[in-house]
Structure 1
Amino acid sequence: GFVVVNKPAGVPVLPMTWAERGCVLNAVVARFPEAAQAGHDRLEGGSVHRLDTPTSGALVYALDKQTYNDFREAFRNSRVTKLYLAVVHGHFTGERLQKIYLKTIAHRPAYVE
């Protein structure tokens, strides 16, 4: 199984050390202890993907190893579609809907621009 949680902006997804508190994974494991063992790394638990600390949004946590592996394979094989929505303030001229596609940076494959 899995759970989807709403991550608030300013809260890290994962702890940097065992002693760190106040991240989303801690909250998920407190409610769903099985999530701690679902992934390949105990510091990541069943975290299927991440969001930057300043970013808010939906996070998927696997509750068992099979679900974790299935989700990771889906992300790896581009079977997951991510939609990002920006809330802005001020006056906007021009088109109301802007589509800007991210591209992978060749020499830094873990990053997009």
Structure 2
Amino acid sequence: MLPDFSNTPKPAPIFKLAAAIIFENENFLAINKPAGLLSIPDRMQSEVSLKDMLINKYGSIFTVHRLDKDTSGIILFAKNETAHKFLSQAFEERRVEKFYQGIVHGSPAEKKGTIDAPISEHLVQKGLMVIHRNGKPSVTDYEVIEDYKSYSLLQFQLHTGRTHQIRVHCKNIGHPLACDELYGDGKPILLSSLKKKYKLSKHDEEERPMLNRLALHSYCLKFTDAEGNAFNLTAELPKDMRALLQQLKKNS
């Protein structure tokens, strides 16, 4: 049974687990996690996590890696200890190719490049990461896929797995991720800011944001399992990010 979260102030998003399963076999499953859902329980057990849902369905499940709560996209969970050990080791030894897509502010001058900047935790602000010469080595490749001047869609490949790595590196090159409360301005994106002749609908008292969460999506994982089978698993961009890109295309 799922834990009792009756007192939780922020319920998990409406989510159909079966529809979100990208791939499943006897050893592991890949899920397209929505933004706003915890990957695993937090210390406070404040709300239902994806892992709670999986335990409720499968009885036993093993964490391989994590995604931030507001990051959407593909995440793996193991179904047994053997698969857990193998996949966790594959992530640790960087034998898993990890690709993300994100919408950033502005238009990077270099359309393709590598950000090689060490990351460490802020000395005073717990949970905030910074670029620091004494930090852990952190390497991110990026490529601009769509450029709308005010915003751009980038694809990232992570070569290391530091906390908030893409977010910190985007800030470092002067193009923070859209709606990033920690490393950007955190402001929601409104259609009125993109569309010159925007008019509020008669039915709405105030404008609803097009995007009001971190614009980052775990897009693709490439790896080989213990039996030597190669996997190339992808998760389509979610509706909110696709809708924003469509409006940027129309109004650029």
Matches of 1:51 and 1:74, distance apart in 2 = 17
- 2:72 aligned partner: 56
- Are the structure 2 counterparts of residues 16 and 58 from structure 1 closer, same or farther at C-alpha, using a change threshold of 3 Å? same
Unmatched segments (≥5 aa) in structure 1 = 36-45
Residue deviations 1:92-113, cap 9 Å, x none?
6978xx4454544264434433
2:59 aligned with 1:33 = yes
Q: Secondary structure at the match of 1:34?
A: coil
Q: Which amino acid aligns with 2:49?
A: C
Residue deviations 1:16-49, cap 9 Å, x none?
24844411111111111121xxxxxxxxxx1100
- Are the structure 2 counterparts of residues 108 and 29 from structure 1 closer, same or farther at C-alpha, using a change threshold of 3 Å? farther
- Are the structure 2 counterparts of residues 11 and 28 from structure 1 closer, same or farther at C-alpha, using a change threshold of 3 Å? same
Which structure has the bigger radius of gyration? 2
- 1:7 aligned partner: 33
Q: Find 2:89's aligned residue among 73, 78, 89.
A: 73
Q: Secondary structure at the match of 2:76?
A: strand
Q: Secondary structure at the match of 1:70?
A: helix
TM-score by length of 1: 0.71
Matches of 2:108 and 2:92, distance apart in 1 = 37
| Deviating more after overlay: 76-85 vs 26-35 | 26-35
- Are the structure 2 counterparts of residues 79 and 14 from structure 1 closer, same or farther at C-alpha, using a change threshold of 3 Å? same
Instruction: Please state how far the C-alpha of 1:77 moved relative to its aligned partner.
Output: 0.9
RMSD value, Cα: 2.8
Q: Secondary structure at the match of 1:57?
A: strand
Q: Secondary structure at the match of 1:83?
A: strand
- Are the structure 2 counterparts of residues 16 and 57 from structure 1 closer, same or farther at C-alpha, using a change threshold of 3 Å? same
Structure ranking higher on relative contact order (CA contacts 8 Å, 6+ apart):
1
Q: Which amino acid aligns with 1:8?
A: P
Q: Which amino acid aligns with 2:41?
A: P
- Percent identity of equivalent pairs: 27
Matches of 1:55 and 1:10, distance apart in 2 = 7
Q: Secondary structure at the match of 2:30?
A: strand
Task: Count how many residue pairs are aligned between Structure 1 and Structure 2.
Answer: 100
